[in-house]
Amino acid sequence: MREVKLLTYPHGSTKTNKSMKYGYANFIMYLAPHKLSGQNVCPGATIGCIKSCLNESGRALWVEKNGKINPIHKARLARTLLYFNDRARFFTQLTKEIKSGITWAKKRDLIPVFRLNGTSDLRFENDWQNFNIIKHFSDIQFYDYTKLYNRRNLPANYHLTFSRAESNQEQTLNAVVNGLNISAVFRSELPKKYLGLNVIDGDQHDLRFLDPQRSCIGLIAKGKAKNDTSGFVIN
């Protein structure tokens, strides 16, 4: 059976490339978002974020080329199907690739970090048959964005940033009250403050675990999000 590559290396995208300037090698896994695979990998998705999804920006914007499915989409679909159809093989492959990523980073004097939900929102903090990928690499930093407000008892090496959307304002406010960092997408420029939090430029790098506590990570709308009218993008 053909091997499915799960992780995108730091030089695979503009934002992760930026992370290397800060001394980090940033590895991200991109799945087929929401229900594109027939399985829902984004249970907290809203109408606005579905329409504005990063799956439809950058190099992934071109769904078809010469009548064929974009290879980026094909790869994301293959990873997602592997996750749902053969979980044991998925985690074996992911463990192998994380080990390879750590070696790759250390050869370049970079600190390896991993984001497993590049275009998904799965609970990787949960065990699968007494195995936990994040706890297995307890000395390595993992991080993600999430719209699931009730994720608790996280491993010490797993950092989450709560993502604000047009229909989760109450959960966003609760996240702020509980001292969590939040992220928000803005139309064209970042304000100095949002919900009383200092806004920092989240497009400078993707290393969210370095952000000061009680911050709002501001992101400028990209791709289809530029035309959002749902309230997902803040004017």
User: Considering the entire predicted model, what is its pTM?
Assistant: 0.91
- On the question of pLDDT at 18 being above 70, the answer is yes
- Cα-based torsion angle of the residue sequence 147, 27, 77, 95 in order, rounded to the nearest 10 degrees: -100
Q: Report whether 37 contacts 77 (CB < 8 A).
A: yes
| Residue of 8, 172, 152, 163 whose CA lies nearest to 76 | 8
pLDDT for position 172:
95
The tens digit of pLDDT for each residue in 42-73 reads 998 888 888 877 555 444 444 555 666 778 88
Of the chain, the percentage scoring pLDDT greater than 70 comes to: 93
Mean pLDDT over residues 153-181, rounded?
93
Nearest C-alpha neighbor of 224 from the set 51, 58, 64, 34:
51
At 7, list the tokens: 């992780």
Q: How far apart are CA 100 and CA 110, in angstroms?
A: 13
Contact 142, 115 (CB under 8 A): yes
Once rounded to an integer, what is the mean pLDDT over residues 104-119?
97
- Greatest mean pLDDT among 15-19, 107-111, 145-149: 107-111
Looking at residue 52, its amino acid is S
Helices 87-107, 71-85: crossing angle, 10 deg rounding: 120
